[in-house]
Structure formats: structure tokens, C-alpha cells
């Protein structure tokens, strides 16, 4: 889906990362989506949002996540992973009296984003606007109802994504500490979204941390030499490898070594991927995958591979040997 670039210069925003508000210099791009219902409290056991109370919601997610909010049973995916903000239509339904409903980022303050004022009992009121979202795992926005109780119905119309002036480093996934001050103790880096991956049901899986879209079948092509791995990835299209995503030759590519490494969960092995990953890892002869990154020292002969089976390691190997192929698309 085409992105509309709204800003072409660097701006500074205050965003919430894991509940902590930090300044980030960024440009924003907007990706419209077909209206998707993310919330309808009329369809939930919790019912109305009570007077002077709040409730948190996700602005994107899979079927179970969104349907639990009364939204679309098939989910509302975010095309490029974790958004900076969401453009939504906020509806107040069946209020018990006059009042005010507001939507803002989880951990934020009422009055910062979108509001709907209502004055009549039994009448629906709506307002469309942009709401900043909390970054990281967990709900994205808070909806508060002031003075009176009311139902809310929310449709998402599009997402804003930021390109920071620096590249935040994600966590490794390691949570067990073996010594004070080690990785498992500090767990530094950008928190992983939960769920980390979303199965799109069309042969693709989106990584909600990076926004990369991976082929669900991690062994469709078997083991190939490096040049064949490049060709097979570049020529991949709808109708191959279980794809029904409408992709064409040229949409897919062989991932670079950083992209391939981004899949690694350092708490696991065999494979070293997040435990709930949805990938099809069948019939693997070993756990080595080619990257598109060539060696600077011997670029004609060597390319980087990543070992994702019994742990993770990276090395350069001759381009004329056979390794697995795992195509990807998207990214910046």
C-alpha cells in the first residue's frame, strides 16, 4: 500500500516507549487503510465505559486481540508494524447523559489528542482525528469518559509511521540473567511488541517489531547457491510457496544480514526464534540461511549467512555452497 509522506523535514516528538516518554526526532509518513473496526464496546462483556473511568485498547492486531475489544473478528493489521499514531473515527454511542470522551496514548494525558463532546441521551456523536499511540507491547490508546457513561465505537482509517534520525536497537529477547549487569539483567533496547509476529493468512508473516514481511514457509526453495538464492527471492510472486498476497516478481528479495539477524531470540535455540513464531520450518537439513550481504574482503567469493537453528552465529561462506533461502519484503 502506498505511503503518503506528510513531512519531509526532521521534527521532534515526545513519544511513549514502554511507558517512558522520550524525545525523538522524526519524519512522519501516513498509510491509509480500509476502515477497520478496532473497538465496539457494545459487543464486549465490560460494556460501557463508566463515568470518570478509562479503558485501554489496541489500534491494530490479530483477530483474537481486536475481537476481544468488540472489533473485527479478522483483526486489523498495521501494514508497516508499530505505528507512531493512528487516524481514527471515534463514536460515542448511547450516552447516559451529557459528557466528554477523549482518546490519547496509553500513559498520556487527557486533552492531548482527540475528543468528542456529547449532550443528549440516546444520540450518537462522532469525531475523526489522529491519536498518538504508545510504542511497545500492550495496548496503544486510552479512551476516557467524563461525566457520563457511554459506549464507544472506533474505526481505524490509517496509520502514521516515524523515521527517526537514529535507529533504535531492539532487545535481544534474553530474559535470564547470569551475572549482574548482563543482557538478561538490564534487557536494554526497544521492547518487542506482543504478539511479535502476525500471520496474515496469505502465506506471509509481518514482524510487528521491524515492519518486515517474511515468507511464512522458511524452506520453500530448499538449499541453493548464493546467486540462485538471489534469483529465487527476486522472482517470487503470488501463487508460489503458498502465497495468495497478490505480490509480483521484484516485490520480494533476499534479506540482508541485519534483517536476518533481527529474527533471532537469544533465549531460544533449535530454532533461535521467538517461541510463538508462526513460521513453517519443516524439512530443514540444517539451520543456515543466506543473506544478500557480500564480504568486503572477498566480495566475489563470500557472502554472509546466519545460523538460526541451534543458537545464532554469523560467518562468511563461499557463494558456491548450498544454504537455505528465506525471502522478505518491505522495510526502509
Q: What is the CATH number of the domain that holds 99?
A: 2.60.120
Q: Which residue has the higher pLDDT, 243 or 168?
A: 243
Overall average pLDDT of the 63-79 stretch:
95
User: Is the residue at 185 inside a domain?
Assistant: no
Residue 21 is predicted with a pLDDT of: 39
The dihedral over CA atoms of 292, 293, 299, 301, expressed in degrees to the nearest 10, equals -60
Residue where a domain terminates, one of 164, 183, 206: 164
Q: Which domain holds residue 209?
A: 195-329
Q: Verify that 133 and 277 share a domain, yes or no.
A: no
pLDDT of 2 reads 37
**81: helix, coil or strand?**
coil
> Where does the pLDDT of residue 20 fall: very low under 50, low under 70, confident under 90, or very high at 90 and above?
very low
Q: Spell out the alpha helix ranges (H) of 158-295.
A: 183-186, 226-235, 257-261
Residue 241 is assigned to a structural domain of this protein: yes
Tell me what pLDDT residue 310 has: 65
How far is residue 323's CA from residue 314's CA, in Å, rounded to a whole number? 13
Q: Does residue 136 or residue 259 have the better pLDDT? A: 259
Whether 226 is covered by a domain: the verdict is yes
Q: Is residue 235 part of a domain?
A: yes
> Could you say which of 114, 141, 164 is where a domain stops?
164
Do residues 153 and 216 share a domain? no
Residue 96 domain-assigned (yes or no): yes
User: Do residues 90 and 150 share a domain?
Assistant: yes
Q: Is residue 190 part of a domain?
A: no
Whether 159 and 27 share a structural domain: yes
Same domain? 209 vs 154? no
Say whether the peptide bond before residue 195 is cis (omega within 30 degrees of 0): yes
pLDDT tens digits for range 105-141: 998 877 767 889 888 776 778 899 999 898 766 899 9
In a domain, 265, yes or no: yes
Whole-model pTM: value is 0.54
Would the pLDDT of 3 be above 50? no
> 25 and 88 in one domain?
yes
Q: How confident is the model at residue 163 (pLDDT cuts 50, 70, 90)?
A: low
**pLDDT value, residue 287:** 81
| Same structural domain, 324 and 199 | yes
Q: Is residue 323 part of a domain?
A: yes
**3-class SS shares of the chain: helix, strand, coil, % to 5:** 10, 40, 55
Q: pLDDT tens for residues 83-102?
A: 889 999 999 999 999 999 99
Domain identity same for 160 and 217:
no
Residue 177 has pLDDT above 60, yes or no: yes
Residue 39 sits at φ, ψ, to 5 deg, of -145, 135
Number of domains in the chain: 2
- DSSP code at position 171: P
Query: Are both 210 and 149 inside the same structural domain?
Result: no
Q: How confident is the model at residue 283 (pLDDT cuts 50, 70, 90)?
A: low
69 and 11 share a domain? yes
Residues 197-246: pLDDT tens digits?
A: 999 999 999 998 888 999 999 999 999 999 999 999 999 999 999 999 99
Amino acid at each position: 500500500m502506498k505511503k503518503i509522506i506528510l513531512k519531509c523535514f526532521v521534527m521532534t516528538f515526545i513519544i511513549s516507549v514502554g511507558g517512558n516518554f522520550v524525545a525523538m526526532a522524526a519524519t512522519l509518513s501516513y498509510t491509509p487503510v480500509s476502515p477497520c473496526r478496532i473497538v465496539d464496546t457494545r459487543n464486549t462483556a465490560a460494556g460501557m465505559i463508566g463515568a470518570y473511568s478509562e479503558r485501554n485498547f489496541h489500534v491494530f492486531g490479530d483477530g483474537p486481540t481486536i475481537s476481544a475489544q468488540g472489533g473485527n473478528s479478522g483483526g486489523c493489521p498495521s501494514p508497516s508494524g508499530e505505528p507512531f499514531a493512528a487516524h481514527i473515527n471515534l463514536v460515542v454511542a448511547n450516552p447516559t447523559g451529557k459528557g466528554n470522551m477523549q482518546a490519547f496514548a496509553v500513559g498520556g494525558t487527557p486533552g492531548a489528542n482527540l475528543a468528542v463532546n456529547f449532550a443528549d441521551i440516546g444520540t450518537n456523536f462522532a469525531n475523526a482525528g489522529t491519536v498518538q499511540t504508545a510504542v511497545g507491547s500492550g495496548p496503544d490508546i486510552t479512551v476516557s469518559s467524563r461525566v457520563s457513561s457511554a459506549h464507544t465505537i472506533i474505526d481505524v482509517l490509517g496509520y502514521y509511521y516515524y523515521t527517526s534520525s537514529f535507529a533504535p536497537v531492539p532487545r535481544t529477547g534474553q530474559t535470564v540473567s547470569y551475572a549482574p549487569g548482563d543482557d538478561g539483567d538490564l534487557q536494554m533496547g526497544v521492547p518487542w511488541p506482543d504478539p511479535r509476529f502476525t500471520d496474515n493468512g496469505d502465506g506471509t508473516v509481518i514482524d510487528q517489531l521491524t515492519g518486515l514481511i517474511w515468507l511464512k514457509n522458511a524452506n520453500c526453495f530448499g538449499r541453493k547457491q548464493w546467486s540462485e538464492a538471489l534469483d529465487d527471492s527476486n522472482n517470487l510472486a503470488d501463487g508460489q510457496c503458498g502465497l495468495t498476497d497478490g505480490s509480483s516478481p521484484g516485490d520480494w528479495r533476499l534479506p540482508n544480514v541485519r534483517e536476518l539477524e533481527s529474527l533471532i531470540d537469544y533465549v531460544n535455540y533449535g530454532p533461535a526464534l521467538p517461541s510463538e513464531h508462526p513460521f513453517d520450518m519443516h524439512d530443514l537439513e540444517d539451520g543456515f540461511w543466506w543473506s544478500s550481504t557480500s564480504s568486503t574482503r572477498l566480495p566475489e567469493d563470500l557472502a554472509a549467512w546466519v545460523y538460526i537453528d541451534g543458537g545464532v552465529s554469523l560467518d562468511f561462506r563461499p557463494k558456491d555452497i548450498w544454504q537455505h533461502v528465506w525471502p522478505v519484503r518491505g522495510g526502509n
